[in-house]
Chain A
Amino acid sequence: MSPRSYRLLFLLLPSRFRDEYGQELGEVVEDRWRVVQERGGIASKMRSWVRETVALTRLALRLRLGLEPDGAPPRGARRKTTKRGWEMNGWGSDVRQAARSLFKQPGFTVVTVLTLGLGIGASTAIFSAVHAVLFRDLAYTDADRIVAVFHTDTETRAVRTGASAANMRDLDESSDRLSGAAVAEPWSLDLFREDRAESLRTWSVSSGFFDILGADLELGRAFLPEEYVEGNDRVVVLGHRGWTQYFGGDPSIVGRVFTLDNEPYTVIGVLPSEFALPDEAAAWIPRPPKSGDAPSRAADYMFGVARLASGATLADAQAEVDRLALALAESFPRTNAGVGMRLVPLREHLFGDVSTPLYVLLSAVGFVLLIACANVAGLMLARGAKREREYALRSAIGAGRGRLVAHVATESFILATLGCALGVGLTYLGVRVIQGLGPDHLPRIDELRVDGAVLTFSVVAAGLSAFLSGLAPAFKLSRPDLRGALSDGSHGSRGGRKGNRLRNRLVVLEVAAALVLLIGAGLLTKIFTILVNEELGFDPTDRVVIQFFANGYEEEELRQFVDQTIENMEAIPGVRAVAITSSVPGATDRTISSIEIDVPMRIEGLAPPPEGQEPITFISQVSASRFETMDISMVAGRGFDDGDRAETPPVVIVNEALVRRHLGYEDAVGQRIGVPWGADEDVWKWHEIVGVVRDVRPLGFESEPHPEVYFPFTQMGTTSLTFMLASDTDAGPLVAQASQAIWDVMPTQTLWGATTLETLLGDWLKERRFNLVLLSSFAIIALLLSAVGIYGLISFSMQQRVGELGIRRALGGRTLDVLGMVLKEGVALAAAGVLLGVAGALVLTRFLAGMLFGVEPTDWPTFGLLALAVLTVSSLATLVPAIRATRVDPMEALRD
């Protein structure tokens, strides 16, 4: 709790108390907050927050209800009734009475409990996801002091993929505020098993890596300092999954020797299953310093990690790292000019991009809970009004204000308890749905479960619902006009304008909240359809991708291998086209690695910019059929063909983004661009642009397509290769056949990943669909609940006005007039709600901005359409009671 949010609660206090004690309360809580923050973790903060909030709310309620003496001198009589006796007696009979009256009105009770249960269940299920993903302790020692390190572009402030080994070593050696810094380099080791080689996903980690993370190994030990030396480094630590998947979870694995990449490696340890940094791999090996590290300081594809020294804050460390980065840029201008380094807390690194959607969902579900509460409050109010005489009578025979309030409070408490029970049941169901629906890479989604914290949340949510739904009726009762209720023999139209006003406000709020949710969901839906249908720029259906790293081939050997394999693949029935490419759009490193190579480039005819400031472009090497295989259309010029060979003039194809950004919409075909060539500095090789292709949106950098340059595979070789097949039939079964086609040519070739393009995109699409489905269902639940709320309110208001309606009818009011009158009342409320909702959405959709690319947060068609929908549903909800009102029999109504 920040003291500031605590001060907001002061609004609940009566102004007299606030003036007298508000200042001190604030100071006390600030002092307490300071202590809690020093002491502790998120759990103790939460606990303290909840306790303080509950205590203050309770105080406010007691003061407001007059249960707390209000400055009057003590009255002996009141003191003599010992408080305890009064309460015990009161609670017991309150519970009995409340239960009896709820039981007598099963309709009301069932609707209320269902409403609350839905609200509590949905919010608890989402909370469980947020809790599992964001709040639970990480498996690393003192994880809050671990940071991930990224190179940044000092000019654009863009964060790069990772960090380089040499820069991280300098941090390790020169930094006082970091107790250690290390890198993990993506690696692969071939393991021969059953006559077939398999690629083990491996991280090659520099000295200090496991110390920084504070890993507790499940078996064995981590690397010793002397094992980070060339020659002693043939040791391997297995990841938990690698251990079970490849070695059957053999408990005696430590000490055994395996041949990996034709070298004997000794297994020295096994990591626990929670250990997944940089991600879940099969193996970790030591990475001795390499001679190539120093010249390739710009190679920022490695995962950098560091630990804050004791006593150092993140800001301290960042300031120091900034200074070091500047010094490095001066010493190594060629590689480090314009390169900054950013420290990112581990939690943020792991969960940063999932936290926003989860918070959005959590607030959405908060809205649903609020609507549910408003509904129940409305129902209770309506019920309270009907029982005004009952309360008046009770009061007349001596029940104090407190007793009446206690009675209502007990009712909402019982309802909330039942709702909570139902909600917990729904939570179990909801958690299962989330797991089924959730993206696989939502971190730790498999750890999702209903545990103590989650149950606590549901109880808090239930308590809150009881409080919120009982609040309005209780307040109303605390200022009753009891005499009026008793003396007024009829129960005509005086249900109290005041009571109606309160109920009206509730309905307006409900409608507004529902609309906000609908608009949020509507915007996401719109983006989703745009993404899926239009923005990919290529067709992912029935495409197979198989990635491998062709190490150890002579150039000619590789060409033959590739040609022969392509021939084999083309012979598979159903295959329409085969291509080879170094980059796969949509690759996210999970199944297929994304090979992102960015290089500086120059444009012929323009003065070269100063070193280190050249425009950057992604490059890929592709075969002639690559664009056709992906259905990427040419915008201008030609594709590659057999005429583009090693000995012919070098050519490239570029994408629209590159033309747009760097060639200024001029005719790109025929222009020449240069890229650095070979190991020598300052040798630029010039390539003629022969074609321009449409942009694809390689998923992951979702907002803007990057400039890309494609080289013909025949002119610029690479060993990072992916076969890409387009087929006329279902691609699923083709994956195995295509893999076999490779092994037919080269039985020992390991495959890094083989899958369909749709599966690859699936993960990514799934995440969006997940957010979308959940948000939409909340929005629909919210709309339904609001409709029920409006229906209930209007029905009730009509019931109260039976007499008035009867008179109107008796005086010759036509059916249509009555219908119009009632409808008008409902529609006016709905319209007010819609206006408020649009205003709310204008503000709240800003928070969605990060999830909205290509759609303005203020998308008027969406706003308009959904506002209309809400208005329609609300009007329909009014229609039923309106029709009923026209059927009022004037005689009966007047007699009553």
Chain B
Amino acid sequence: MSQNPEQFIPLTHVAYHVLLALSDQSRHGYGIIKHVEEKTSGRLELEAGTLYAAIKRMRDDTLIAEAKAPSGTDSRRRYYGLTPFGRSVLRAESLRLAELVALARDAQLIPPGA
């Protein structure tokens, strides 16, 4: 089945952060929560229910899949990683956001250097 990344765009806030968290390595559920919390300096704290709503949806949509645990980690837990398709969706969404940011810059809403 051929899929078009465009049909998943725009991503929800939560979905974007989850994909982003999985872009460098596979993580388990709590690992994702911790990573998102760190990267946003604690501004986004995902509840377990919210996270798994997103995980289930993205798994069903094959954006993410169960992945091997990175070596030296807790292998009893289930790890998730990006599928190639998920990575293309993440890239497409990032480009869309970048375009928006560029527009905002043009409108001088963002101070240079920020």
Q: Which residues of A contact B (CB under 8 A)?
A: 17, 20-21, 24-25, 27-29, 31-32, 51-52, 54-60, 62, 68-69, 71-74, 76, 79-80, 82
Contacts and interface: CB of A to CB of B under 8 A. Distances in A.
Interface of A is mostly: helix
Contacts of B51: 28
Given A24-B78, A25-B49, A32-B30, A68 B57 contact: yes
B25 interface: no
B28 interface: yes
Contacts of B33: 28, 32
Contacts of A62: 53
A80 B7 contact: yes
Contacts of A71: 60
B30 A27 contact: yes
A335 to B, nearest CB: 55
B100 to A, nearest CB: 15
Nearest to B32: A28
Interface in B66-114: 77-78
B60 A69 contact: yes
Contact of B77 (A24, A25, A56): A24
B39 interface: no
A68 B54 CA distance: 10
A71 B51 CA distance: 17
Contacts of B57: 68-69
14 contacts: A24-B52, A25-B49, A32-B33, A55-B47, A55-B49, A55-B50, A57-B49, A58-B49, A59-B49, A59-B50, A69-B57, A73-B60, A73-B61, A76-B7
Nearest to A77: B7
Interface of B is mostly: helix
A847 B1 CA distance: 61
Contacts of B29: 24-25, 27-28
Contact of A27 (B45, B49, B56, B77): B77
Contact of A56 (B30, B47, B60): B47
B18 interface: no
B1 A73 contact: yes
B48 A56 contact: yes
B55 interface: yes
Given A28-B51, A28-B52, A60-B49, 20 more contacts: A24-B29, A24-B77, A25-B29, A25-B52, A27-B77, A29-B48, A32-B48, A51-B47, A52-B49, A55-B47, A55-B48, A55-B50, A55-B53, A59-B53, A72-B60, A74-B3, A74-B60, A76-B7, A79-B7, A82-B10
B49 A79 contact: no
Nearest to B4: A76
Contacts of B10: 82
B30 A21 contact: no
B56 A21 contact: yes
B17 to A, nearest CB: 15
A21 B52 contact: yes
A31 B49 contact: no
Contacts of A27: 29-30, 77
Interface in B9-50: 10, 28-30, 33, 45, 47-50
B95 to A, nearest CB: 19
Interface of B: 1, 3, 7-8, 10, 28-30, 33, 45, 47-53, 55-57, 60-61, 77-78
A71 B61 CA distance: 8
A72 B51 CA distance: 19
Contact of B7 (A21, A57, A72, A74): A74
Nearest to B29: A28
Contacts of A59: 49-50, 52-53
Nearest to B50: A55
Top 9 closest pairs, chain A to chain B, by CB? A55-B49, A55-B47, A56-B49, A31-B30, A59-B49, A28-B29, A28-B48, A28-B30, A59-B53
A62 B45 CA distance: 21
Given A32-B30, A32-B33, A79-B8, A21 B55 contact: yes
Nearest to A71: B60
A28 B53 CA distance: 14
A108 B80 CA distance: 51
Nearest to B6: A79
A27 B77 CA distance: 9
A62 B28 CA distance: 24
A52 B57 CA distance: 19
A28 B77 CA distance: 10
A29 B45 CA distance: 12
B7 to A, nearest CB: 5
A455 to B, nearest CB: 23
Contacts of A72: 60
Nearest to A72: B60
A52 B47 contact: yes
Contacts of B78: 24
B80 to A, nearest CB: 10
A21 B49 CA distance: 10
A55 B50 CA distance: 6
A478 B1 CA distance: 31
Given A17-B56, A79-B8, A25 B48 contact: yes
A782 to B, nearest CB: 32
A183 to B, nearest CB: 44
B81 to A, nearest CB: 15
Nearest to A57: B49
A76 B49 CA distance: 26
Contacts of B55: 21
A257 to B, nearest CB: 55
Contacts of B7: 74, 76, 79-80
Residue with the highest number of chain B CB atoms closer than 10 Å, among A28, A60, A73: A28
A31 B74 CA distance: 13
A413 B51 CA distance: 26
Nearest to B8: A79
Given A73-B1, A76-B7, A79-B8, A24 B49 contact: no
Nearest to A83: B12
A62 B60 CA distance: 16
Contacts of B47: 51-52, 54-56
A2 to B, nearest CB: 14
Contacts of B1: 73
A24 B28 CA distance: 9
Nearest to A50: B47
B38 to A, nearest CB: 12
Nearest to A82: B10
Nearest to B61: A74
Nearest to B63: A74
Residue with the highest number of chain A CB atoms closer than 10 Å, among B29, B55, B57: B29
B59 to A, nearest CB: 9
A111 B72 CA distance: 62
Contacts of B52: 21, 24-25, 28, 59
A463 to B, nearest CB: 16
A51 to B, nearest CB: 5
Contacts of A54: 47, 49
A29 to B, nearest CB: 5
B27 to A, nearest CB: 11
A82 B7 CA distance: 10
B37 to A, nearest CB: 10
A80 B7 CA distance: 7
Contacts of B48: 25, 28-29, 32, 52, 55-56
Given A51-B47, A74-B7, A68 B30 contact: no
Contacts of B53: 55, 58-59, 62, 68
Residue with the highest number of chain A CB atoms closer than 10 Å, among B10, B48, B50: B48
Contacts of A52: 47-49
Contacts of A80: 7
Nearest to A23: B78
A80 B9 CA distance: 9
